[in-house]
Structure 1
Amino acid sequence: MLKFRQNFTKLENYIKKESIEALYNVMCKERDSKISGFFNLPYENKAIIDSKKYIKENTKILSNIENLIIIGIGGSSLGLKAIDSMLSHLPYRKNINLKFLEHTDPIKIEKSLKKVKLESSLFIVISKSGTTIETSSLMKYVLDRYNLLKNSKNKQHLCFITDKNSPLHNFGKYQNIQTLTINKNIGGRYSVLSTIGILPLMILGYDVQSLLLGAKKFSKRFFNFKEKHLLKKAIFLSNNRDKFNINILFSYSSVFKDFNAWYVQLWGESLGKLNSFGKKTGLTPIALIGSIDQHSFLQLIVQGVMDKTVTFLSLEQKSYINPKIPDLKLKFLDSCNFVNGKSFALLLQQQQISTMEAIQKEGIPTDHIEIKKLNEKCVGELVIYYELLTSCVGKILDINAYDQPGVELGKKILITKFNK
């Protein structure tokens, strides 16, 4: 379960009841319009059924793999990476190395594939089309390096996840490569609760049913008008975008590092758009890790330009009693003794609270999301919360939060560079 606390400068008095109800009604229509399939993912069984079928048909290969290599970029990798990072501490997570080929950096490619052998590896190519240049180029390299198209035995170590009837889907059928599909109206950055995330997570041993259940329960509460805080936050951020155009996610645990990266893509790529009047709009995401970034970016937040809001993301620390800071009193270091005998978890928690209070005293808008327990259900809730929040802000900004025309322009320019 997630706990939400907001301190957006007298938020309750600032936002009118009519505005909250209007946004709620707009979001209900958005869901019903089917413009984006992410709304339905927590309620569907397709990803579970397709993934179970694939695993059953490939039991022999999967029982021997040591490496699960994901070939994909952006929405095809960030969500999966985020969830695994948050849940990898769970005891039933299988001892499989999860690797990502998402970068065209030659040093990174060689490092990622070092000691990777075909017989103990499964390569999953994830792309809505298959024509993303990074993904297609990395796929070609892996096909060649491991001779994956040589015969049916080698092809068993390869799987595609893509849109139905996409170029990659057609290539998979032509080569008789196992291919799983998702609906076309599910954008990459909103796709982690589809087969794109569910299949790899199921292979790794996670309880994906609970992941979807967490998302489903939060989504149901939202569409039953029981999560008004999300609507209020979206209205505040949108209405104050000229004053507070930078949104910081300050996450207090290293397990959130990859979730931060997912948030940056979701927020930035969804909201940086031209509105219906052709005006450039958007909100800039920044992701920080506490307490590390207290020693870098915090100074700018507190005494820099007042153009930022800060969301704190943390874990309830009650269950983390070890390790503890030894009760050592060291000469000349007496000023540090106040934490002796206390757990590192308590120290981290108090650092987060102290930082939040310091920021609030400067009049900077903040809110706090606390995760009671880091499990599949809570992670599913966190994922759908941010997807719904992004969609809400997109509606108020009068933009399409599900496309990325600016990215597509860059792809077109890249092609001209190689065709000169």
Structure 2
Amino acid sequence: MFSTAPRPFRASRLPFTPMRTILIMGPGGSGRTTLAAATALAEAEKGTDTLVLSADRTDTLGAALGVGTGPTPVEAAPRLTAWRPDPARDFRKDLAALQDRASSALDLLGASRLDPEELTPLPGAEELALLRALRDAALAERHDLLVVDLPPLPQALALLALPEELRRYLRRLLPPERQAARALRPVLGRLAGVPMPAEWLYDTAARWDLELAAVEAVVADRDTVVRLVAEPGPAGADALRTAGQGLALRGLRTDAVVANRVLPEASPDTWLAGPVAQQRKALEEWRESYPVRTVAHLGRDPRGADDLTALEAPGVDRDTPVEPVEWPVTDRLGEDGVLVWHIPLPGAVRDDLDLVRRGDELVVTVGRFRRVVPLPSALRRCTVDGAALREGELRIRFAPDPKLWPRTR
């Protein structure tokens, strides 16, 4: 749950974040938390002020770094700060604040208050705590690099989609334009015979929208990239395929795939021949679609700074600019009489695609993932004329419709 109390946000900082952000993502058991710790430590040793975040309940991050992590940021190494937010504490604080703001309504209903000591976090509280920490870290401007250990797939993809989805729900349930009639609410309530939404409800929705916008700005920032971690093999290939679909639909950029626990090619142990051949085949396939970095198997679970350094985790390439993911509209009115919306969906399969036009929005489904996106202004007065998936790109044709044009007197 996001805070119901005012926070000192600086709206001018929302369109961008001053730090480089790497979102570490991968299936459970792939070693993503260890790679997040190794990446953060390697950058800190280069002199970069680095913060590493994790929402793991069991403090796998602290075990990898050799220090305990918790709700208070700790210095894990020179220039390296580790932070594991406490969802229970945030949940209790936010619900207590919500009760205080809704006290009049609760008293009218005769409802009894919940004590903070009896509150336990609801499902999803950990993810929301991580989003809040991500936002706070970006707004604090205290570090040059932020490394985020996301939950396992597919929860991580749902987490990255959450800010946009919640903002859309808020706008539908409490449209901002209705706040213009604040002075009329008491009159409207008497005329309608039903109570109008309280002022605090709109104020709370506006604060939530601002906080969600801050998180969304960090995720969508040009200096934010996703780094996929997987073990080369059939299970890892399935995970990458799933992650690729979800990230493409969200327009998020992948800077590299880290193939973790790669076995040595030259080994006297004959029993390794099968696994090594399987890994080699997976790596060849991955390199056709992604920049691949390999991390060798240490023969043990990495623990402490020495083991993390021995992993030689891929660093951060600050010299190569991150290309933004764009969904352009091309004008083919003169040739075919249509406008074409190009949506990059590498790896998508035609049978897994579904499109539904709903007013000024388009519902795009790719496999198990769905996104509701607003149509560009140029396409809102057009009708869908067809769609095709070509070369990893969904191309939707729109034909201008005079019936949708503004009427003049």
TM (norm. structure 2) is 0.27
Bigger RCO of structures 1 and 2 (CA < 8 A, at least 6 apart): 1
- TM-score, structure 1 as length reference: 0.26
Which of these two proteins has the greater Rg computed from alpha carbons? 2
- Report the structure, 1 or 2, having the larger strand content: 2
